[in-house]
Amino acid sequence: MFDDNGSFLLAMLEFFIFLGWFMGLFFIFGDLFRSRDLGGFAKTMWVLFLIFLPFLGMLVYLIARGSGMTERAMAAHAEMQKHQEAYIRSVAAPAAGPANATEEIAKAKGLLDSGTINAIEFEQLKTRALERQGTAVS
């Protein structure tokens, strides 16, 4: 297949040029479909232009819309990060339980009134709840 080292190096160069073109095509298609300022008809025209005249289409796209590619990619990344942080906050939220010392003391008072705990245990629970909140117990 390869007669000498020159033809092998030329084939490698062609392969890397093709790979670079293919990656550029993926970036352009990603940017094209991420863009919210283009309608469906304009996106269809760009896709057809990129399919039927690939090299010329890529160059024209980069000249016409290349300056906004970074802004669109960064906006998409920021939106994705915002959604991820919201998901993490929702999953990492503390388990359902008393949110503050007042609720803990009210719950302990209910236990005391029902006879489940005695007065000493109620005072211990109240002290722990106030210490967790950072309020001094007098």
Greater model confidence, 98 or 106: 106
Closest CA to 31 of 40, 43, 14, 21: 43
Look at residue 7 in the predicted model and tell me its pLDDT: 83
Chain segment 3-29, per-residue pLDDT in tens? 777 788 888 999 999 999 999 999 999
What is the rounded distance in angstroms from the CA atom of residue 126 to the CA atom of residue 100?
11
Tell me the whole-structure pTM to 2 decimals: 0.54
Distance of CA 60 to the CA centre of its chain: 31
Helical residues (DSSP H) of 1-138, grouped into ranges: 5-34, 40-52, 54-65, 69-91, 101-114, 119-133
The total number of residues written for the chain in this structure: 138
